[in-house]
Amino acid sequence: MKKNKYVLSATVVFISLFAGLQAIAQSDVSAIIKSGREDATKLTNAYLSPLFKGLGTGLNSGWNNTAHSKNLLRFELRFGLTGVIIPKKDDVFDVTKIGLSNHIRPSDPSKVLTPTVAGSKTPGPQVDIYDDNNKKIETFTLPQGSNLPFVPAPQLQGTIGLPKGIDFTLRAMPKVNLGSKFGSLGMFGAGVKVELLPLIAGKTVDKIFPLDVAAALGYTQFNYKLPVNVQPGNAQPKDAQQNTDFSNQSVDAKFSGINMEIILSKKFLVFTPFLSVGYNTARTNVTLKGNYPIVTDNDIVTGEKYTTFTDPVSIKQNDVSGLRTNLGFQFSLAFFRIYGSYSIANYNSFNAGLGFGLGK
């Protein structure tokens, strides 16, 4: 039962990630790879860019809803969900403005806008692929979007109080295998928060300053792997140098984020509003791994011939880097907690969560 709960939660929460990576990895992988390693990487990156930015922003969300640190050995368990809002401008991209080589061109020069993963479920325009001799060798349609209004990202975490106004938070989702269609995923992270004023003024701080002030740092990493199956069919290797082992194909993805913030809050009985200002950064590392048999020649006499491409797509980049402001609240009633916040950054987001805690 516990495993089934994880599977259901992961499937619902990460449906946008599955949809985006599957569209690239399974629908048009042969044609995209045939466009060349650099062009394939640029097309994949442009299509999935809103997903990368959204997930990176979401991983950095929901760490704290109050500046007050847990008292010694007091603990809290909480589950939160962030929705990262994708700006309309990122629903499409222009294929002529992402630095593609002359080997790949729009079939119709007047149709250059195509959906990103966040865009409409309308197929993109056709593009043609040319060889080094300017001979057209392939035409394919760019993938449609998934109508993503926002990117969801969960936070499952536990916090315990340490001495000197410090509390420690651990985030975790055990590795879950969702089968060959959806792949496997896992998440972990850790954070620390230090309440500043008691370190300076001791226990008399409440009489000096009416607000709680804290500094916090958090790191989260999400790992995902999706099996891919591209086989040569009736095609034969171009020559004896082509690798014929195609059992190692997959999309390997790692998303990581760092969030640093200064938090101010004030408790009024059971209600605590807070404001935080900080800096966050997120990194994407996505690779289409393995060997892929891509038809590069079709002769009437000898038939189709394939060339083997190894690890043809590799994206390693920072997608999020900048200031971030959060405004939200914590509502506490006995052991029960309710959280909510809104974040203003390059990609705005909202966060809500429930928690169970022992002590202040």
Q: Residue 351: pLDDT above 60?
A: yes
CB count within 10 Å of CB 241 equals 8
Token code pair at residue 49: 């860019």
Q: Residue 16: pLDDT above 60?
A: no
What mean pLDDT comes out for the span 237-251?
90
Contact between residue 355 and residue 333 where contact means Cβ atoms under 8 Å apart: no
State the pLDDT at residue 5.
34
Q: Residue 233: pLDDT above 80?
A: yes
Contact between residue 59 and residue 153 where contact means Cβ atoms under 8 Å apart: yes
Q: Range with the lowest mean pLDDT among 37-41, 105-109, 130-134, 356-360?
A: 356-360
Token code pair at residue 187: 């998440």
The distance between the two most distant Cα atoms of the chain, rounded to a whole number of Å, is: 91
- The DSSP result for 17-68, as a single string, is HHHHHHIIIIISHHHHHHT-HHHHHHHHHHHHHHHHHHHHHHHT-SS-S-SP
Answer with the residue of higher pLDDT: 136 or 42.
Answer: 42
Contact between residue 17 and residue 55 where contact means Cβ atoms under 8 Å apart: yes
Token code pair at residue 178: 């969702």
Q: Residue 7: pLDDT above 50?
A: no
State the pLDDT at residue 2.
37
State the pLDDT at residue 108.
94
State the pLDDT at residue 19.
52
Q: Report d(CA 343, CA 332) in Å as an integer.
A: 21
State the pLDDT at residue 22.
54
Strand partners, 307: 294
What mean pLDDT comes out for the span 9-14?
38
Contact between residue 305 and residue 234 where contact means Cβ atoms under 8 Å apart: no
Q: Residue 204: pLDDT above 90?
A: no
State the pLDDT at residue 207.
65
Q: Residue 345: pLDDT above 90?
A: yes
* E strands in the chain: 75-85, 92-94, 104-106, 113-115, 126-130, 136-141, 150-162, 166-177, 184-195, 212-227, 236-237, 250-265, 271-289, 291-299, 303-310, 313-333, 336-344, 349-358
Q: Which of 175, 165, 215, 209 is nearest to 191 (CA)?
A: 215
Answer with the residue of higher pLDDT: 128 or 21.
Answer: 128
State the pLDDT at residue 1.
34
pLDDT digits (tens, 9 = 90+) for 126-145: 998 887 788 887 788 888 88
Q: Where are the domains of the chain?
A: 2-358
pLDDT digits (tens, 9 = 90+) for 179-192: 766 678 888 999 99
Write down the residue that tokens 């998934």 correspond to: 146
Q: Report d(CA 290, CA 206) in Å as an integer.
A: 60
Answer with the residue of higher pLDDT: 346 or 36.
Answer: 346
What percent of the chain shows pLDDT beyond 70? 88
For 42, how many CA atoms within 13 A lie in the half-sphere containing its CB? 16
Most confidently modeled range among 29-38, 47-56, 336-345: 336-345
Beta strand 75-85 pairing with 150-162: antiparallel
What percent of the chain shows pLDDT beyond 90? 47
Q: Which of 255, 254, 230 is nearest to 243 (CA)?
A: 230
Give the CA angle between residues 97, 288, 83 to the nearest 5°: 70
Task: Give me the amino acid identity at 333.
Answer: L
State the pLDDT at residue 8.
33
* Average pLDDT for the chain: 85
